[in-house]
Amino acid sequence: MIKITKETSVSLDDVLHLYQAVGWTNYTNQPQMLSRALSHSLAIYLARYGEEIVGLVRLIGDGFSSVFVQDLIVLPTYQRQGIGSHLMKKSLADYKDTYQVQLATEQTEKTLEFYRSLGFETLSSFQCTGMIWVNRKKLQ
């Protein structure tokens, strides 16, 4: 049975395997950045199957006016079992009074359908567009 917990702190060693399993090399190639990001997160929810950590959702923001879903990861062998949905529903319930919860994700129909099923809408629904500035030096 999967157990979801909200953590006050998470070590890099506990979750690096998740980022590696899904190929998020921006984090795995910069483990110091990931370690600092984990320690500065608003909240991190872990999904455990027994003792094994099989998923996480990491939130950043102020928790009142804005929360950003920075990372949602489920080990590939555990995907399509509702774990990502459970992680998101738990975090959304805990921040239900927040003015807005945002995220950025790949634009595939499968991914968009997943987030729509949780109540998310594209920014264009609000006559808005998303913008991003990326430190390109960090990408190298």
Q: Domain for residue 87, yes or no?
A: yes
Q: Domain for residue 135, yes or no?
A: no
Q: What is the mean pLDDT of residues 120-135?
A: 91
Q: Domain for residue 127, yes or no?
A: no
pLDDT in tens, 83-110: 999 999 999 999 999 999 999 999 999 9
The pTM score is 0.93
Q: Domain for residue 129, yes or no?
A: no
Q: Domain for residue 84, yes or no?
A: yes
Q: Which amino acid is at 120?
A: F
pLDDT at 79: 95
Q: Domain for residue 122, yes or no?
A: no
Domain count, the chain: 1
CA distance 84 to 18: 13
Residue 36 belongs to domain spanning: 2-101
Question: What CATH number is attached to the domain comprising 79?
Answer: 3.40.630.30
Q: Domain for residue 59, yes or no?
A: yes
9-17 long-range CB contacts below 8 Å, 24 or more apart? 9/38, 9/39, 10/38, 10/41, 10/44, 10/46, 10/56, 11/35, 11/38, 12/38, 14/46, 14/53, 15/46, 15/53, 15/56, 17/53, 17/75
Cβ–Cβ under 8 Å, residues 124 and 85: no
Q: Domain for residue 93, yes or no?
A: yes
Rounded (5°) CA angle 129-101-47: 130
pLDDT in tens, 33-83: 999 999 999 999 999 999 999 999 999 999 999 999 999 999 999 999 999
Select the more confidently predicted residue: 131 or 138: 131
pLDDT at 139: 64
